[in-house]
A and B are shown apart, each in its own frame.
Chain A
Amino acid sequence: MDTLLPILGGLLLVGGAAFLLLGGLGLVRMPDLFNRIQAGTKATTLGTLLTLSGVACLQPAWGLKLLLIGLFILYTNPLSSQVLARAAHRAGTEKSSKTMVDRLAEDTGEK
């Protein structure tokens, strides 16, 4: 058990950092703003949470503070991405040409 926990922590660290890398790659490669919001917030949230749990496995004494940071990110990150997406939609950001439906525009009655 004493040898297993640090190995698990290291693997969690690498997995979380890989999700961060995928989020950054999505920010560069995605075609329009709303797709970039998907990549830039969801993947990086998961990556940060995995990395925090990895550090908690390597340094169990820091667990409570890391849990606090993780909970804070888990609560605030979806909120900020939602506010950002709504603001961009109201500001009339142009969508990708492959966009099929826009439920928010249908609901508010604009074109």
Chain B
Amino acid sequence: MIEFLVYVAAALTGIAFLLALYRFLKGPSAADRVVAFDALTIISITAIVLTALTEGRGIYLDVALVYALLSFLGVIVIARYMERGL
């Protein structure tokens, strides 16, 4: 029962990832792609945490934390670049 719910959540997360990936590939402007990238990283963090749950290995949580840190810095840097250039 619980395992089934976990797999349903993983499937929904995968569909969300594909939808955001569609916007990332199609996005008319660069800003659209950055927004889609932001959403993609957040969805990826959820996917990593779900992987940690199904594999039963807590080390993946550290990976998720570092990934959150790096993706946040990446989005900030790209936004600053779009605003006034490096």
Chain A interfacial positions (CB closer than 8 Å to B): 6-7, 9-11, 13-14, 16-18, 20-21, 23-25, 27-28, 33, 36-37, 40-41, 44-45, 47-48, 51-52, 54-55, 58-59, 61-62, 65-66, 68-69, 72-73, 76-77, 79-81, 83-84, 86-88, 90-91, 93
Contact = CB atoms under 8 A, between A and B. Distances in A.
Contacts of B9: 10, 13-14, 16-17, 51, 54
Nearest to A28: B19
Nearest to A36: B35
A62 B61 contact: yes
29 contacts: A7-B1, A16-B46, A20-B16, A20-B43, A21-B12, A21-B13, A24-B43, A25-B19, A27-B36, A27-B39, A33-B31, A36-B23, A36-B32, A40-B38, A40-B39, A41-B35, A44-B42, A44-B43, A55-B50, A59-B53, A65-B61, A66-B49, A73-B45, A76-B68, A76-B72, A83-B75, A86-B79, A87-B31, A93-B29
Contacts of A24: 15-20, 39, 43
Interface in B62-86: 62, 64-65, 68-69, 72, 75-76, 79-80, 82-83
Contact of A40 (B17, B20, B29, B64): B20
A54 B10 CA distance: 13
Contact of B5 (A14, A84, A90): A14
A88 B80 contact: no
**Chain A contact residues: over half helix, strand or loop, or mixed?**
helix
A27 B20 contact: yes
A10 B20 contact: no
B65 A69 contact: yes
A58 B53 contact: yes
Contact of B58 (A37, A41, A62, A86): A62
B12 to A, nearest CB: 4
